[in-house]
A = this chain, B = another copy of it.
């Protein structure tokens, strides 16, 4: 049995892959050790606890997620940036459901400003904010549009990943429909920018 096989990074990577395959509930140190062809206690030479390992996975996941969103939006603007970024998010969640779930949970209960997941979360928010800038929203509405976008994309992606959409046909169509809906609405806000912002905009007279 040769030495120097595992490192904190390699353990984290293997854990990330495993958590995508079997989910956080079934994830265990024993399973990960087995996959690494090592006995369970060996893992503790590289991570201090299961909680520590999961947090490392979360940080790594959020960083990769931030990269994916940034790369998708890069060089695009407006509707194009929205559609591409949204698809990138959906793809990431579908391909890495466990990592996304863990990253999202860790971000929500991030301890302090020194938690290494915070920069990654900030990069995600910055990407979405940059994307929204293409719609020239009133600055007072940006925070609301951002939260709506996060909510809609997060909700759709996680429900799809969890198998929450019964008729699996046309989920693609539903997603693009939603993106079109959001895009149209964001454009209309800009178009009616001088009207009241907190009350409903009257429907346009016709097409």
- A residues with CB within 8 A of B: 79, 104-105, 107-109, 141, 143-145, 147-148, 150-156, 158-159, 162-165, 167, 170-171, 173-174, 176-178, 180-185, 187-189, 191-192, 194-195, 198-207
> Which single member of B156, B158, B184 contacts A200 (CB below 8 Å)?
B184
Chain B residues near A108: list those with CB within 8 A: 159, 162-164
Chain B residues near A203: list those with CB within 8 A: 184, 187-188, 191
Q: Are B107 and A181 in contact (CB under 8 A)?
A: no
> Which single member of B156, B176, B199, B207 contacts A195 (CB below 8 Å)?
B207
Chain B residues near A171: list those with CB within 8 A: 147
Q: Report how far A207 CA is from B204 CA in the complex, Å.
A: 7
Listed by A's residue number, 6 A-B pairs whose Cβ atoms lie within 8 Å are: A104-B162, A105-B162, A143-B170, A151-B152, A180-B198, A184-B203
Q: Are B109 and A163 in contact (CB under 8 A)?
A: yes
Interface centre among A107, A162, A184 (most CB of B within 10 A): A184
Interface on chain A toward B: helix, strand, loop, or mixed SS? helix
Minimum Cβ distance to chain B for residue A76 (Å): 16
Chain B residues near A173: list those with CB within 8 A: 144, 198
> Which single member of B152, B164, B206 contacts A148 (CB below 8 Å)?
B152
Which are the 6 A-B pairs with shortest beta-carbon distances? A155-B155, A204-B204, A151-B155, A151-B156, A144-B177, A108-B162
Minimum Cβ distance to chain B for residue A174 (Å): 5
Interface centre among A152, A191, A198 (most CB of B within 10 A): A152
Closest to A144 in B: B177
Given contacts A148-B181, A159-B151, contact A164 B200 (CB under 8 A): no
Minimum Cβ distance to chain B for residue A100 (Å): 13
